[in-house]
Amino acid sequence: MSRALFTATALAAASLCAASPAAAKTAFDGVWLFDKAPPMPGVTMMEVRSKGAKIEGHVTTLWYGPIEMMNPRIQDGRLLFEARNINDRDHPTRPWSVSLDKGQAHLKGRIWASEVDTQGYRGTTKDAKARTFRFTALPPLGQPIPGKLATTPPMGWSSWNKFAEHIDDRTVRAMADAMVSTGLRDAGYLYINIDDGWQGKRDANDMLQPNEKFPDMKALTAYVHSKGLKIGIYSSQGPRTCAGYEGSYGHVAQDAKSFADWGFDYLKYDLCSGEWFYADADRVKRSYHEMGAALQATGRDILFSLCEYGRFDVGSWGRDVGGQLWRTTGDITDDYETMTKIGFDKNGNPAHAGPHGWNDPDMLEIGNGGMSAAEYRTHMTLWAMSAAPLMMGHDLRETSAETLALLTNRRVIAVDQDARGVQGKAVRKQGALEVWAKPLADGRVALALFNRGAESASLELTAADAGFSSVTQVEDLWSGATAAILPTSYTVPAHGAVMIAVKGQ
Ligand code: GLA
C-alpha cells in the first residue's frame, strides 16, 4: 500500500470511533479487553499504539503471553496483521484482523488448532497492567543432574488414555485399589499417575492448588502409598498445560516443592504452551533442566518424565536434565495404525536407552478396546522389546482376563525389565515381517517376530537372528513352552507377534 493511501485509510479508520482517546492515532489505539475468547489460546487483551504511520501492538493470551502483531496495517477500515503460528510448518504465520463495530473490537485469527473470533471492549491502562503477561527469565543450563532412579523402565498406570481430564480423587484411589486386587502391582506396576486435569488456580501466595476434584492431595498420596504403590503428577513449563490448565511457568521451584510436600514420586512435565516460549533445543533443554534441578533440590526422589514429543533429539540430553524417561513421539491412540507407527518407527534411538534413562514411546492402550487381541499382543511385545516404560492406560477396574494375561505375563515383563537395559531393535525385515532382537542379562537373546501384514504369514527364525551360531534352548515367552531347537518356521497371525528367548553360542 502506498504511504498516501495508508495515511488516508488510517485517518478514515480513526474517524470511525469517536470514543477513542485523544492521543490515539488510529481508531484501534488503546487497550481492548476480551472476556469471552475461546479458552485456547485464551485472548485476554489487545494493545495497539501508533506513532505516525507506525503501528505496534500485541494480543495477550493465557497460553502464549503476548503475541506480537507483525506487519500491522490499516486496510479498508480494518487493522490487519500477521501472528506467529505454532505446530504448522505450512503456515508459520497466520493473518489476523480487527474491525470496529459499535465501540467493540472484533478480533479474528487462527493459531494452531484454535479459531479466534471474539469481541472486546475498551479498557484502561490499569486494566492493561492487571492483564499484562509476566515474563520469567529462563536460567542458564546447569550441570548435568546425576541419575539414580529407574534402573529399569518405570511401570505403572496413567489417567490420560482412558479418562483424559475426567479424573478425580475417587477414581485415582479406585485405580490404586484395582492395581492391588488385580495383581498388577505384584507383577511390577508401581506408579499411579495423575495426568492433566487436576489443577485449580494459584492462591494469594501463588501456590498452585488442586481443583475441587482433588480435595486433599496429601491424603491422596498417603492412600496410594499405603497400598505399596507410588504416585505421580503432571505439569508443564508453559503457562498452560495441553488441556489448558495452569502450568508451572514462572513458578517452577515453588511447584516442585508443592509436589514434593504433597508426597508425589513422579512428575510428567509436558512442554505444551511452553513450546511458544522455548522454541529451540537450547531453551527446551534449559526449561527441563530448570525443573529437573528444582525436583532434585526438594530432596525427595521424584522420577522425572520429559514430554516434548521427541523433539530436538531429546534422548541425547534427557538424562543431563534429570530425566529418567522422555517421550519419543506425539500421542498414542487406541488403534493399530498409530500404535505401530510409534512402536516400530518412533520409539527412539536405542543408543540412548539404558539404566536411569529410557525412550518413552507413550503409554499403553491395552484394554481400551480399539485393537484386536493379536494387535494388543503386538503392542505389549513391541514395548517390552523396546525396554519401554509400561504405563497402562485403561480403567483398571475393568481389566478382563485376556487383558490381565497380556499385562502380567512375567516372562514378557522380564524382557522389558531386564537388568542389562538394552533397547531391542529390528535385525531383519522381510516384506511385512520384522525380526527384533534384545540381548538379555542372562546371556539369552529375546527375539520377536512381528507380522505387520493383513494376512497370516510364516517365517523361519535362525540362530543368526540372535547373533548365535547355534541355539541350545528356546522359550516361547507368551506361552512358556520350551524346546531344544528352533521350529522350522513360525506362523504369525495378521498384525500379530511371536516372542521367544533363545540360549545359544
Ligand atoms: C499431551 C501429552 C499427553 C497428555 C496430554 C494432557 O498431549 O502428550 O500424553 O499428557 O497432553 O493434556
Helical axes 281-297 vs 252-262, angle rounded to 10°: 40
CA distance 413 to 93: 47
Q: pLDDT at position 328, please?
A: 98
Q: pLDDT at position 25, please?
A: 82
Centre of ligand 1 from the C-alpha of residue 331, in Å: 7
Centre of ligand 1 from the C-alpha of residue 164, in Å: 9
pLDDT in tens, 366-397: 999 999 999 999 999 999 999 999 999 999 99
pLDDT in tens, 327-351: 999 999 999 999 999 999 999 999 9
Give 205's contacts (C-beta < 8 A, 6+ positions apart): none
Which residues form ligand 1's pocket by a CB distance below 6 Å? 160, 195-196, 241-243, 270, 307, 331
pTM for this one?
A: 0.94
Centre of ligand 1 from the C-alpha of residue 486, in Å: 43
Centre of ligand 1 from the C-alpha of residue 348, in Å: 18
Which of 112, 162, 196, 334 has most ligand 1 atoms within 8 Å of CB, for mutation? Answer: 196
CA-nearest residue, atom 4 of ligand 1: 160
* Ligand 1 atom showing the smallest separation from residue 362 Cα: 9
CA-nearest residue, atom 8 of ligand 1: 331
Q: pLDDT at position 53, please?
A: 85
* Ligand 1 atom showing the smallest separation from residue 330 Cα: 8
Return the closest-CA partner of residue 355 out of 95, 99, 154, 131.
154
Q: Which residues are catalytic?
A: 270, 331
Answer whether 295's CB lies under 8 Å from 120's CB: no
Query: ∠ CA 439-444-448 to the nearest 5 degrees?
Result: 65
Q: What is the mean pLDDT of residues 193-197?
A: 98
CA distance 197 to 245: 7
Q: What is the DSSP string of 424-452?
A: PEEEEEETTEEEEEEE-TTS-EEEEEEE-
CA-nearest residue, atom 5 of ligand 1: 242
Q: Residue 87: how many CA atoms within 13 Å on its side-chain side?
A: 15
Q: What is the DSSP string of 312-342?
A: GGGGGTTTTTT-SEEE-SS---SSHHHHHHH
Q: Which three cell numbers stand for residue 356?
A: 536411569
Statement: residue 129 has pLDDT above 90 = yes
Centre of ligand 1 from the C-alpha of residue 308, in Å: 10
The domains located in the chain, with CATH, are 3-131 (2.40.128.120), 155-416 (3.20.20.70), 425-504 (2.60.40.1180)
